[in-house]
Amino acid sequence: MSGIRKSKAAVLWGLNQQWKIEEIEIHPPKTGEVIVHWRAAGLCHSDEHLVTGDMVPPEEFWPLMGIESFFPIIGGHEGAGVVVEVGPGVTSVVVGDHVSASFVPSCGRCRYCSTGRQNLCDNGAKTFVGGMITDDTHRHFVNGQPVTLMAKVGTFSEYACVSEQSIIKVEKDIPLECVALVSCGVATGWGSAANRAGTQPGDTVAVVGIGGIGMNAVQGARMAGAKRIIAIDPIEFKREKAMEFGATHTFPSMADAMMSVMEMTYGQMADRVIMTPGVLHGEMMTEAMNLAGKGSTVVITAISPMTSETANINLFNLAMWNKEIKGTIFGSLNPRADIPALLDMYRAGQLKLDELITKTYKLEDINEGYEAMRDGTNLRGVIVNA
């Protein structure tokens, strides 16, 4: 079939508004594009960052970015579904294939894709704005008006037209809810600990903030052989869950953790500190750096407000103790290699995915799901479309 397709989608019309369920129109896929029926979408904190504005460029920048408005935008960047239509020239998938979304596209040809850093693919530059990666034109319309897709996948829609670069074929024996979680939160958290932080067997690792990312940083640290995993979160439910995912100690705050980490490591402190709070504010860095020992690595995974320009870091200590601070996107993994690899670890029973899903929601109930996230009662809520 090829023609205009109608779909329900959760659309954000402006800052600090609720997600609104709209009927959208999707135009047929052009060269290199496919239509995916999203069957599962994770309620990730990054979509909430669109609502709060932490991840929205200030209005005065919009003309520089070549857009009239950041809104409306269809949310959702963590998802999995089934290919229902392919445009001309598509070679990596056929109709009926199960696919994972990839919130960073991977063109396979740019400098970064060509050197094992697909998480930094140059096509990621247009993550939040404009039309298709392929030709900049739009395929999605609401009330006749073009609408952008979050991370160029817009998984808070029943259907979406996406570039082949943004989807990764997966095996059909894995539940699509699990695939959805791996496509962003799991890979990001796991890779932050197991890959970017360089966790080694015997290390002491502190994970600050135990949500959908931090919980997977705990799993990654466990799989990388950490001796101690200190999970820090103010919410008791999350601390309890962290122990189930492999943490060895928990504390409600960095301040509470400080003396105990000092004691248990004989003063050497953590070898790796992974920052995965809901929102990272610059002043939190003082305590984060103090948790980190000589020669340690501090990984910044969390989103900080986009326009925030300051962080409290003692650069004397950074230099004298040979510490390093590393940013990471997607856990510094390669979507095309690592999404299937993580799913195979799930298949082998080494990676917990089912246990991450606290509750599933219908698309219509998305605001209820985010309410639960804000209340801290969900590790991960997942939207499931029939």
Partner 1 sequence: MKSKAAILWETNKPWSVEEIELDDPKAGEVLVEMKASGMCHSDEHLMTGDLPFALPIIGGHEGAGIVRKVGEGVSWLAPGDHVVFGFIPSCGRCPSCSTGHQNLCDLGALMGGGRQITDGGSRHHARGQELGLMCLLGTFAHHTVVNEASCIKVDDDLPFDKVCLLGCGVVTGWGSAVYAAEVKPGDTVAVVGVGGIGANAIQGARLAGAKRIIAIDPIEFKREKAMEFGATHTAASMTDALALLQEVTWGTMANKVILTMGVGSGALMAEAMALASKRGRVVVTNIHPAMEMGVTMNLLDVTLMEKQVVGSLFGSGNPRADIPKLAGLYREGQLDLDGLVTRTYSLEGVNDGYEAMRAGENIRGVLVYE
Binding flag, residue 201, partner 1 (CB under 8 A) = yes
Residue closer to partner 1 by CB (options 157, 188) is: 188
Using CB under 8 A, pick the residue from 345, 365, 376, 377 that binds partner 1.
345
Binding flag, residue 243, partner 1 (CB under 8 A) = no
Residue closer to partner 1 by CB (options 158, 203) is: 203
Alpha-carbon distance 340 to 212, whole Å? 19
Binding flag, residue 161, partner 1 (CB under 8 A) = no
Residue where the block lists tokens 């015997």? 202
Residue closer to partner 1 by CB (options 6, 347) is: 347
Residue closer to partner 1 by CB (options 75, 191) is: 191
Provide the minimum distance between the beta carbon of 346 and partner 1 in the complex, in angstroms, as a whole number.
Answer: 10
Give exposure, 333-361, as e/b (b: 16+ Cβ within 10 Å): bbbbebbbebbebbeeeebbbeebbbeeb
Binding flag, residue 117, partner 1 (CB under 8 A) = no
Please give the biggest Cα pair distance in the chain: 67
Whose CA is closest to 301, among 374, 216, 219?
Answer: 216
Binding flag, residue 145, partner 1 (CB under 8 A) = no
- Measured in residues, the chain has a length of 386
Binding flag, residue 291, partner 1 (CB under 8 A) = no
Binding flag, residue 344, partner 1 (CB under 8 A) = yes
Binding flag, residue 342, partner 1 (CB under 8 A) = yes
Residue 320's contacts (CB-CB under 8 Å, 6 or more residues apart) are none
Binding flag, residue 350, partner 1 (CB under 8 A) = yes
Interface residues for partner 1 in 171-200 (CB under 8 A)?
A: 194, 200
Binding flag, residue 335, partner 1 (CB under 8 A) = no
Strands 145-146 and 140-142, by their bridges, are antiparallel
Instruction: For residue 272, give both structure tokens.
Output: 């790796």
DSSP calls for 159-198: EEEEEGGGEEEE-TTS-HHHHHHIIIIIHHHHHIIIIIS-
Whose CA is closest to 119, among 64, 184, 61, 177?
Answer: 184
Whose CA is closest to 324, among 293, 301, 303?
Answer: 293
Catalytic residue check, 49: yes
**∠ CA 156-160-161, rounded to 5°:** 150
Catalytic residue check, 77: yes
Residue closer to partner 1 by CB (options 341, 384) is: 341
Residue closer to partner 1 by CB (options 166, 334) is: 334
Using CB under 8 A, pick the residue from 224, 247, 280, 382 that binds partner 1.
224
Alpha-carbon distance 74 to 22, whole Å? 10
Provide the minimum distance between the beta carbon of 228 and partner 1 in the complex, in angstroms, as a whole number.
Answer: 8
Binding flag, residue 55, partner 1 (CB under 8 A) = no
Residue where the block lists tokens 């445009």? 87
Binding flag, residue 247, partner 1 (CB under 8 A) = no
Catalytic residue among 27, 37, 45, 49: 49
- What is the SS3 assignment for 67? coil
Give me the 7-26 binding string for partner 1, x by CB under 8 A, dash otherwise: --------------------
- Indicate the residue type of 55: M
Catalytic residue among 46, 100, 296, 304: 46
Catalytic residue among 44, 113, 161, 178: 44
List beta partners, residue 272: 205, 297
Select the span of 79-87, 109-117, 278-286, 339-347 touching partner 1 (CB under 8 A).
339-347
Neighbours of 319 (CB within 10 A): 9
Using CB under 8 A, pick the residue from 14, 58, 202, 327 that binds partner 1.
202
Is the CB of residue 239 less than 8 Å from the CB of residue 231? yes
Catalytic residue check, 44: yes
Binding flag, residue 267, partner 1 (CB under 8 A) = no
Catalytic residue among 106, 113, 184, 249: 184
- What is the SS3 assignment for 66? coil
Residue where the block lists tokens 């817009």? 154
Residue closer to partner 1 by CB (options 300, 333) is: 333
Residues lying near partner 1 in the complex (CB under 8 A):
194, 200-202, 220, 223-225, 227-228, 341-342, 344-345, 348, 350
Q: Mind telling me the catalytic residues?
A: 44, 46, 49, 77, 184
